[in-house]
Amino acid sequence: MEKLYIIKIGGNIIDDETKLSSFLKEFTSVQGKKILIHGGGKLATQIASQLGVEQQMVEGRRITDKDTLRIVTMVYAGYINKNIVAQLQSFGCNAMGLSGADGNLVQAHKRKKGAIDYGFAGDIDSVNIPLIAHLLELGITIIVSPITHNLEGQLLNTNADTMAHEIAKSMSADYDVNLIYSFEKNGVLLDANDDSTTIASLQPAHYAQLKKEEKIFAGMIPKLDNAFAALDSGVKQVTIGKAEQLQQLIAHTAGTKITND
Amino acid sequence: MEKLYIIKIGGNIIDDETKLSSFLKEFTSVQGKKILIHGGGKLATQIASQLGVEQQMVEGRRITDKDTLRIVTMVYAGYINKNIVAQLQSFGCNAMGLSGADGNLVQAHKRKKGAIDYGFAGDIDSVNIPLIAHLLELGITIIVSPITHNLEGQLLNTNADTMAHEIAKSMSADYDVNLIYSFEKNGVLLDANDDSTTIASLQPAHYAQLKKEEKIFAGMIPKLDNAFAALDSGVKQVTIGKAEQLQQLIAHTAGTKITND
């Protein structure tokens, strides 16, 4: 099967013009078919604060009321997505930015109220595999913003790690998918503040143990849950590591390889 | 040649949820290949005011400084574009929202400083005809936001009427293009405040006379200049009229038909 790189970029990289630009150059040089999924939380928080819309986060996830939905749609699908696309185009990468609503790329439903009401948060139902395949065949690199819709006219804010996982899962029937979660750290660290403690490869048993010892916590847990779930659902390779080391992550000479054995 | 409808929606329609929704239902019912181009000025002005970014307009065109470019990118390519797409998807229209940067759809250059410095305003150089044709062949309806790029990483704010005209012009070699400028009025009016004074068809000589008599002025002049230029460059039909009367505009039972004879 043909290789398909699905790369999630997040964290502080998007907020740092120099780091983002250097990452996008590296991304452009990745040969073959590829998809980029981005978040963009800090800029959304900043614009929300300027507009006087109070933001509430629960376990790293944003409570999305009506005004917040408007802000994340503007910031993720508008500002960040189009700036990434314009930069990639300037580097010679034929990028096209899409949200989940565009061409019904990623359909979702509003998360049901549990103990926490996340508001307009979307949980993914389906990925438009033929559309993605068509665009890739046209030589297009898809840049996905984490805004989905419910096919009833409602936009929904969706976790970008989950978007990456669901798209990777859906495409793995037809492609040899290499999923990379890239962010500001070297990989999964034994000591969150020390990049030299990167774990080269992580198995489910080791992950369970590290969670128990509370060496892995907060935002890393949903990311790793997504990573293991992707592996379980047919994605060929899953790697977590530093955005600026994209080529090394692909070559498995940096970052943490997520593996079942 | 196959018919292609290129429809510009602007003015107060976008700011009015009910009118927009009713227009999008009409738009969905238009059979065949179609492209929608939207503006969104009022919401951009409102957000700019909330963010404390002063807006300056010259002859109906926005002076686009760095902060304003960020706002129009968020509002046009983000909020308005994705909301239109999500609504159309809910009506069964397979809409995909793109800016000029996406897939290098519309390439432009920064307008040179003349008597007025328009800032990051884009004048169009080229339209990606093969990409548009490919997407139309896939059954996709393209929803274009008026943000372009210069292929050097710079996004640019571009007049939506001009986007519509340039896309119509470019596609007219391969399609029988029907260009419709739809807005809040019945068409070109002899008395700007009286919808019953709609001119059924307008020729260049009549247009020149009306301009001389100052019966046509302000925002209508660039719109009509675009309309006549489109006709001169091979676009089959150009019509100006009320957004809610889209079907009648197509049937030529409403609005103003722009014609050379």
Tell me: the pLDDT tens digits for B85-138? 999 999 999 999 999 999 999 999 999 988 999 999 999 999 999 999 999 999
Closest in A76, A85, A138 to B101, CB measured = A85
User: B163: domain CATH number?
Assistant: 3.40.1160.10
Sign of CA dihedral A55, A61, A63, A68: positive
pLDDT band at A174 (very low <50, low <70, confident <90, very high): very high
| pLDDT surpasses 90 at A197 | yes
Q: A120 and A62 in contact (C-beta within 8 Å)?
A: no
The average confidence (pLDDT) of chain A is 94
Contact A79 B95 (CB under 8 A): no
| Nearest CA among B86, B113, B110 for reference residue B97 | B86
For the segment B156-183, the average pLDDT, to the nearest whole number, is 96
Structural domain harbouring A191: 3-258
pLDDT at A59: 73
A151 contacts on B by Cβ (under 8 Å): 89-90
For the segment A131-141, the average pLDDT, to the nearest whole number, is 97
Interface ipTM: 0.95
Q: Which chain A residue's Cα is nearest to B46?
A: A51
Task: Report if pTM > 0.90.
Answer: yes
pLDDT at A41: 74
pLDDT at A97: 98
CA distances from A41 to A35, A119, A199, A220 (A): 20, 17, 26, 16
**Does the CB of A102 have a partner CB in chain B at under 8 Å?**
yes
d(CA B27, CA B20): 10
**Does the CB of B81 have a partner CB in chain A at under 8 Å?**
yes
For the segment A169-186, the average pLDDT, to the nearest whole number, is 95
Domain count, chain A: 1
- The number of helices, as runs of H, and strands, as runs of E, in chain B is 9, 14
| pLDDT surpasses 90 at A260 | no
d(CA A223, CA A205): 16
pLDDT at B154: 98
pLDDT at B62: 87
pLDDT tens digits for range B212-231: 999 887 778 888 998 999 99
A186-190, A235-239, B8-12, range with the lowest pLDDT: B8-12
| Chain A stretch 26-55, residues whose beta carbon is closer than 8 A to a beta carbon of chain B | 47, 50-52
pLDDT tens digits for range B15-65: 899 999 999 999 999 999 999 999 887 889 999 999 999 999 887 778 999
d(CA A103, CA A142): 12
d(CA B71, CA A159): 24
pLDDT at A40: 82
d(CA A228, CA B19): 47
A67-76, A210-219, A239-248, B203-212, range with the lowest pLDDT: A210-219
**Does the CB of A208 have a partner CB in chain B at under 8 Å?**
no
pLDDT at B12: 83
Which amino acid, B120? Answer: F
Name the token pair of A226. 């997504």
Taking residue A210's Cβ as centre, other Cβ atoms within 10 Å add up to 18
pLDDT band at B81 (very low <50, low <70, confident <90, very high): very high
d(CA B163, CA B95): 18
pLDDT band at A219 (very low <50, low <70, confident <90, very high): confident
Mutation for testing the B interface, residue in A46, A67, A74, A144 having most B CBs under 10 Å: A74
pLDDT band at A94 (very low <50, low <70, confident <90, very high): very high
pLDDT band at A218 (very low <50, low <70, confident <90, very high): confident
pLDDT at B58: 84
For the segment A58-74, the average pLDDT, to the nearest whole number, is 91
**Does the CB of B73 have a partner CB in chain A at under 8 Å?**
yes
